[in-house]
Structure 1
């Protein structure tokens, strides 16, 4: 069996920095001189709790998280938060408005891709509150069915006093992302939200967390991210929760709210400093090493600049291929994700030929999600400029040889 590593363009679990993995192997055997491996050590040991606090500090500094927000570590992935945000924010809304009936509580969802659609469906499934689709990108797609755009700002219709306002910043499957330039028509329309007061704004940042700064972070009630994209292995979910959203869910239940399972309660996590039960110790360790590397490497702006450069290189190669009829992009210009660039390779057998050629060149993980097919290039932080250049070189070579 070969020990040679390939370039992993997979969408998640995805590539991690080689030097971090090498450092992590040391910790697997002996964590910080304890003589105990990180996968074996008590999560309540002073060494691990200090490491957890350090990881939290790096996140707060790198993202400029204000003191109004708690940083929490949990499990269950982004899909677990589809339920948690509904239950916690409906509990909050019940405490604020105990007189309202369930059908009078509204949850606003912006649906721009497969993941926000799943989140919206979970809100409907839980059934305590009415779901309002504030915007549905499919209406503005080429065929009325695809998720290929970020809707124009005029197309959003938010409720007056919703329990939550939900959006997914980057859609991993569909390759659609909100712009980080607030002047862009593809930016999230913060200006259309009710002004003044504490907004119940929820954002799924799973596939773009730590790739660039988060616009208007302080205006969010909850930001969550599965770590298995830019930060660490699967098994860890990171939350940034505004303190007014860390509510007594049991008090809300006495007023008629849905009882919240104890491990889904933000108050449980906050009160226990993310250590109510055994957390994902090994994923936290590897994510913490990545955070240390990011801080030592110049901070988030350095990574944002690099990610922009990688994106621009791949987009340039994609456009060259489109001019020759070899490639076909799936997302409207202006809405294309930095993290997950999706496109088709039209023609009988050509998609598989492209993927096979990439594999021969030690580039894997390029097949699109099973629900949409095609190619998906995931450019997470651990994919460096050299890795990107190798892919671009292959894309250009492939486009030149296809007739």
Structure 2
């Protein structure tokens, strides 16, 4: 066994900065001079409640979160929020429209990849409203069944007054991402969203695999933004939510009007009212996330990482295009819709994928195998991946091209 650390290009749980891990080791033994490790200390202690406040402040300032939105922390990952957003947003809609039947309520889903598809399936399973697919990217793909890009704006069809409108900003499995350039045809079509009876969009966005990697377009117009921490922020076990305050509703009052009862640990109001400490939170992941975001602040915040991540992605996509021209690589995503965080492609030729993976591992680069549902190669370029590590991978990709063209 070697002491050397590999370059971890895994999609999650993913790489964390070495400096953060070294500092976290100290906190595991002695958190803020208490003589107790952060994994042992009471979550009600003044030291830990101070950490929660610092964590919230770092997110609020680096993402320019307005006072109209609360930041709360919970557990269950993005998958847990597939359920929570449905239950909380249906409770809100019930309070706004108590006389509508379940059949008259509707939830809109934008399907651009595996995770939004799973979110749709959970919404259908929970019931409480009809489910409308505003667009399904597979219908506009080259083979009519894969997720290979963001559909043109003209294909989106939103309901007039839905309880929620869901989209996944970055599809980790399929490598498809909405552009953050509002002029791009691959951007989210905010201009098509319905005004709704409340005048506020019920827009829900899963940002799990791109959170804090760049600014969030029109953040203030979202009802809920959520992210599992295990991509850019920290270890698995922490989920971060940015919730507009009109969506933090009395779910028990809604249940009396016929809404589906909301489990207490999924209620945004219960969590927010208790300052994210209703029950024992994920103390160690929150501590490591606070270290990551403090480092981010010192480096320049999301502006710094947006510039860095753009450069990293451009380098990888440029080499991918070179490999495509020489018949070695085949991208899975249309140009313009490719993710900055998860670059996916096939290696062409008999046993070529296994050869590519083995060669990368021999050079200390691991976790490059694509998701089991789609295969191929997946390069995850989260914030902790440095430009130097990216350059090392790009050099290997070029070497592989020269040896296999």
Q: Do the two structures share a fold, i.e. TM-score over 0.5?
A: yes
Aligned to 1:224: 226
Residue correspondence of structure 1 range 286-305 to structure 2 within 5 A: 286-305=288-307
Deviation at 1:195, TM superposition (A): 3.6
What is aligned with 1:112?
112
Q: Is the 8 A contact 2:341 2:381 kept in 1?
A: yes
Matching residue of 2:4: 4
Which residue matches 1:85? 85
Return the alpha-carbon distance in structure 2 between the equivalents of residues 322 and 21 of structure 1: 37
Q: Distance in 2 between matches of 1:389 and 1:20?
A: 22
Aligned mates of 2:395, 2:2 — CA distance in 1: 25
Q: Within 2, Cα distance between the matches of 1:237 and 1:352?
A: 34
Who is 1:208 aligned against?
A: 210
Match of 2:135 in 1: 135
Deviation at 1:8, TM superposition (A): 0.1
SS in 1 for 2:103: helix
Residue from 306, 310, 315 that aligns with 2:308: 306
Q: How high is the TM-score relative to the length of structure 2?
A: 0.99
Counterpart of 2:275? 273
Which residue does the alignment assign to 1:192? 192
1:24 aligned onto 2:36: no
- Partner SS for 1:102: coil
Determine the structure 1 residue equivalent to 2:332.
330
Cα deviation code 1:26-55 (max 9, x no counterpart): 000000100000000000000010011001
Q: How far has the Cα of 1:298 moved from its partner?
A: 1.1
Distance 2:237 2:129 in 1: 30
Per the alignment, in what secondary structure is the counterpart of residue 72 of structure 1?
strand
Q: How big is each residue's C-alpha offset from its partner over 1:334-387, in whole Å with a ceiling of 9 and x where there is no partner?
A: 100000000000111000000000000000010000000000000000000000
Match runs of 1:2-401 below 5 Å: 2-195=2-195, 197-401=199-403
- 8 Å Cα contact 2:91-2:259 kept in structure 1: yes
Partners of 1:29 and 1:324 in 2: CA distance: 53
**CA–CA distance in structure 2, aligned partners of residues 34 and 102 of structure 1:** 53
Deviations 1:149-181 (A, max 9, x none): 101000000000000000000000000000000
Q: Deviations over 1:49-77 (max 9, x none)?
A: 00110010000000000000000000000
C-alpha separation in 2, matches of 1:359 and 1:22 = 24
Which consecutive residues of structure 1, in runs of 5 or more, have no partner in the other structure? none
Q: Is the 8 A contact 2:161 2:195 kept in 1?
A: no
TM-score normalised by the chain length of structure 1: 0.99
- Superposed CA deviations along residues 226-277 of structure 1, whole A, max 9, x for unmatched, are 0000010000000000000000000000000000000000000100000000
Q: What root-mean-square deviation, in Å, do the aligned CA atoms of Structure 1 and Structure 2 show?
A: 0.6
CA distance in structure 1 between the partners assigned to 2:300 and 2:215 by the alignment: 13
1:127 Cα offset (Å): 1.3
Deviations 1:281-329 (A, max 9, x none): 0000000000000111111101000000000000011011001100000
Q: Distance in 1 between matches of 2:230 and 2:253?
A: 34
How many angstroms apart in 2 are the aligned matches of 1:305 and 1:318? 20
In 1, distance between residues paired with 2:259 and 2:317? 48
Instruction: Please list every run of 5 or more consecutive structure 2 residues that lacks an aligned counterpart in the other structure.
Output: none
Deviation, structure 1 residue 2 = 1.1
Alpha-carbon distance in structure 1 between the residues aligned to 2:310 and 2:137: 24
Separation (CA, whole Å) in 1 of partners of 2:357 and 2:284? 33
